[in-house]
Chain A
Amino acid sequence: DAGVIQSPRHEVTEMGQEVTLRCKPISGHDYLFWYRQTMMRGLELLIYFNNNVPIDDSGMPEDRFSAKMPNASFSTLKIQPSEPRDSAVYFCASSPGGGNYNEQFFGPGTRLTVL
């Protein structure tokens, strides 16, 4: 069974450009999470979805960031316009929900560099 798939794995762009990160969660998982990881701030939850509906976007840093989940098998995180301080590794994770614990399965991440 395939895990969480993210694309691209690496992205280098110039300041001011639009960046779109993509995620395919594990089939059957009801929850999808977007995280950002930097040396300074560690792992930060940006937003998460339940059944394609955004539940909590309080971690989204500012209006330049937006996330969508048009269907159960696809989500995007968009940054427009990008800035050098957005450089980080962005992880997508999915979770089946239910049960008495909440394990999340992480993708390999997208390393974003904004010049």
Chain B
Amino acid sequence: GDSVTQMEGPVTLSEEAFLTINCTYTATGYPSLFWYVQYPGEGLQLLLKATKADDKGSNKGFEATYRKETTSFHLEKGSVQVSDSAVYFCALSDQPGSNYKLTFGKGTLLTVNP
């Protein structure tokens, strides 16, 4: 079945540091890939997405590239801010358009210190 594996946290960085959160996936078809972010006390919000191989999703300075050859979708940001402190979830949707379930990773807690 489908699965998503994220690097375990927590991740603690200083402001303006470079961020990478690794994500790899297993899927039977050609999935769409997502990063969701959950700020303290809130629901998940879509951060970025990619729907096919070599697509790059980007938003708010975050980027992730859909790598079919390595089945990866690593999240990166060049300079993190304190306001980026949150839990980040990698997710996939297999067979988009016919199967609307999302498979989530376990989440990675990021803390950014001033």
User: Could you tell me which A residues sit within 8 Å of B by CB distance?
Assistant: 4, 31, 42-43, 45, 48, 50, 56, 91, 93, 95, 97-109
Contact = CB atoms under 8 A, between A and B. Distances in A.
B82 interface: no
Nearest to B45: A106
B46 to A, nearest CB: 5
Contacts of B32: 100-102
Interface of B: 32, 34, 36, 41-46, 49, 51, 89, 93, 96-97, 99-102, 104-107
Max chain A Cβ within 10 angstroms of own Cβ: one of B45, B89, B97, B106:
B97
A50 B100 contact: yes
Contacts of A98: 97
B107 A42 contact: yes
Contacts of A31: 100
Contacts, number: 60
A108 B42 contact: yes
A100 B51 contact: yes
Contacts of A103: 34, 46, 49
Given A43-B89, A43-B107, A102-B32, A97 B43 contact: no
Max chain A Cβ within 10 angstroms of own Cβ: one of B36, B43, B89, B96:
B43
A100 B43 CA distance: 23
Contacts of A50: 100
Given A45-B101, A45-B102, A56-B101, A101 B43 contact: no
Nearest to B32: A101
A42 to B, nearest CB: 4
Given A42-B106, A108-B42, A109-B43, A100 B100 contact: no
Nearest to A111: B41
A102 B101 CA distance: 8
Contacts of B42: 108-109
Given A4-B43, A99-B97, A104 B107 contact: no
